[in-house]
Amino acid sequence: MIRCTLSSILVHDQQVAEDFYVGKLGFRKEKDFPAGGARWLTVKAPDGSGAEILLEPSGFDFSVAWQKQLYDRGIPLTMLACDDIDAEHARLAGLGVTFRSGPTKGDGFSNAIFEDTCGNLIMLTQAH
């Protein structure tokens, strides 16, 4: 069986990303050590489930351009799941997180899209 153990999210500033993903979203810092001119900085869900997320500097021109194109077109870079999207939306909005769309119900799921302060849109989803 193959499974995902690590996924990357491009970020403009790793400290800003750590502050947001740990301080606002509630992830826990998993790894943090020097890697080249940056940090190998990963976070994970507080209960230990799911893959680690590498908060990876968008240091190449092509990655900066790709990230900006997604953001400018309103396309989320990735998707994160939760158990109660209405509660998470209210909690995050109360912490000042900017949402592009509130929870909208689809067939078997609900989604919301927020800005991560690091140049990305992230889709938050809940399966029903």
**Tens-digit pLDDT profile for residues 5-21:** 999 999 999 999 999 99
Q: Which of 81, 71, 117 is nearest to 98 (CA)?
A: 117
Token pair listed for 100: 């592009």
Query: What's the CATH code of the domain at 85?
Result: 3.10.180.10
On whether residue 1 sits in a domain, the answer given is no
Is 76 a domain residue? yes
Res. 59 pLDDT band, cuts 50 70 90: confident
Structural domain count of the chain:
1
Note whether residue 34 is domain-resident: yes
pLDDT band for 38, please (50, 70, 90 cuts). very high
Q: Minimal CA–CA distance to 36: which of 62, 56, 20?
A: 56
Q: Is residue 73 part of a domain?
A: yes
Its domain, for residue 73, covers 6-58+67-127
Is residue 106, in this structure, part of any structural domain at all? yes
E-assigned strands of 4-120? Answer: 6-11, 28-35, 38-44, 52-57, 78-81, 99-105, 109-115
pTM as predicted: 0.94
Q: Does the residue 101 lie in any domain? A: yes
